[in-house]
Amino acid sequence: MLLWTSTSASAFSAVYAALIFLAIGKSGHKLSENFFDYQLEEKIKAKKEGQNDGSTQDKKERNVMEADPLDFIFAWILPFVIGYVVKILATLENLFRFAALLMGATYLLFLIGSLGYSREELRVESDLGKIYRIFITALRKLSCSEYPNSPNCYYWKGYKQQHMYKHGEEVRLLPRVPRLFGWLDKAAIVKAATAAAEEEDSRDHGESLETQEKNRKVCTVKDVREVKSLVHMIYVGLTVFPCSLLMASGNTFFVAQASDLTPIMNKNVIDISYLFMVKSWATNLSKLTCSLTSFTFRNAKNSRVASFMLERKAETIMRIGFGITCAVICSFIAWQVEIRRLSSKMTTTMALVPQFVLLGMTEGLVEEGLKSLFHDHVARSLWSFEDSFSELVIGGGKLLIVPIVLIFSGWINETIETSYFDRFYLMLAIMNTLLLLAFLYYSVTYPYKEECPEDEKVTTQDSENTPPFP
């Protein structure tokens, strides 16, 4: 409604307020997606409960979380086409009026539906709270606890005594993580030689293991393994920071380039809207390709689940790597276009089409690749942390443009004529190339064959019946 009001010159200041509400509404978009995904999953689980065994049920739940290509077309491509048809045929005033009425109608529909909704109690501890608890507990025991040589020295709390590996004489918890985060295992270490002895010793002192867990003196193996599954995603996320910086440049410096070139679609209006339409098409087509690829892998006839997971992880890593490669090529092309623009060898906005296409491909491949890899590698109980992680990686990389502009203030000035965007784009190309090499190196050493941490059912095992650790 504010955008509708701002179409008149006297009320243009309403645009600034509208931008704030649009930013807040974008965060609500993800919350709505999570809400509907959760409702759909619960409906299917309730319908299939008691009809399938555990493995089949897990497969059904997994299929709910993955996008079907037809769902993607109706959820993204079709509204995208309708939106741009309306944009081309309507004026800004009619477009904003239509959007305000449509959003008002859908909001009323949501309110009507909420009257019959049965609210449910969610878990008390958030994913971020669990991550913080594991890190704090491990830090407190960083200097006082040694790695044990027996699996009984970990706090299992009925969890299956497996998913371990030998590191010299020490027993570590899977999944394997780089040395910088290996100390997270200490959060689950108990002081005595065995968990049973520790529990008896704690009982004598009036403090049980459950009390120690509540006081953040020890954590369960299950929680530690789930948090450790995030570590590899942190390393992958660091390698895509320059891609996020390029995305931020596309919304700022690419626009400045277009404003200084001659439009080819409309001689009186800058072609930036058409360039962003091209970028959006490239982004959505890349996402559709990713969805089709995931759909193919999901329905592949493969009796070996481990081999299937290995192929899917490798495919996801290749997707992210190709997205970073598009960012490298896009930066180099933007650098060359800027050099030619400064020398007046390029005068039309047609020269910007390749870099906008590559920018769209980068966004689609990297963002969808991160989401797919998150589901394949991170424990199921932390899947709700996916949106926060994506926003942290992509949004954090975009925020890097602020300190970079301040550091290289001599390159970026008030006008495009006095700026040196060519140097900035060359720096982006070098940064993306270096981190592409780092990503390729990490991909080679990436633990593809590592068992994906699963939310197993807690099965109490007596230490006497525990099979010997290999």
Reported as a single tens digit per residue, the pLDDT across 302-331 is 445 445 556 667 778 888 889 999 999 999
Distances (CA, A) of 11 to 4, 17, 207, 246, 438: 10, 11, 66, 33, 50
Q: Tell me which residue has tokens 């199921």.
A: 380
State the pLDDT at residue 88. Answer: 64
Q: SS3 of 345, please?
A: coil
Q: Which domains does the chain have, with CATH numbers?
A: 127-221 (no CATH), 229-448 (1.20.1250.20)
State the pLDDT at residue 359. Answer: 93
The helix or strand, by DSSP H or E, that contains position 339, with its residue range, turns out to be helix 305-342
β-bridge mates for residue 189, sequence order: 154
pLDDT digits (tens, 9 = 90+) for 401-455: 888 878 887 787 777 777 788 888 999 999 999 999 988 888 777 655 555 555 4
Compute the distance between CA of residue 298 and CA of residue 312 in angstroms, rounded to an integer: 9
Q: Which residues of the chain have pLDDT under 50?
A: 54-67, 192-204, 268, 301-303, 305-306, 455-470
Cis amide linkage into residue 175, ω under 30° from 0: yes
How many Cα neighbours within 13 Å face the side chain of 210?
A: 2
State the pLDDT at residue 327. Answer: 93
How many Cα neighbours within 13 Å face the side chain of 162?
A: 11
State the pLDDT at residue 361. Answer: 92
CA Rg value for the chain? 26
Check the CA dihedral 441-390-374-250 and report its sign: negative
DSSP 439: H
Q: Which of 115, 103, 108, 120 is nearest to 41 (CA)?
A: 120
Q: Where are the alpha helices (DSSP H) in 343-420?
A: 353-377, 386-399, 401-407
State the pLDDT at residue 419. Answer: 77
The gap between the terminal CA atoms of the chain, to the nearest Å, is 66
The pTM of the full predicted model, rounded to 2 decimals, is: 0.71
Q: 454-468 as b/e, with b when 16 or more CB fall inside 10 Å?
A: eeeeeeeeeeeeeee
How would DSSP label each residue in 267-287? Answer: TTS-THHHHHHHHHHHHHHHH
Residues 297/315, Cβ–Cβ less than 8 Å:
yes
Q: SS3 of 172, please?
A: strand
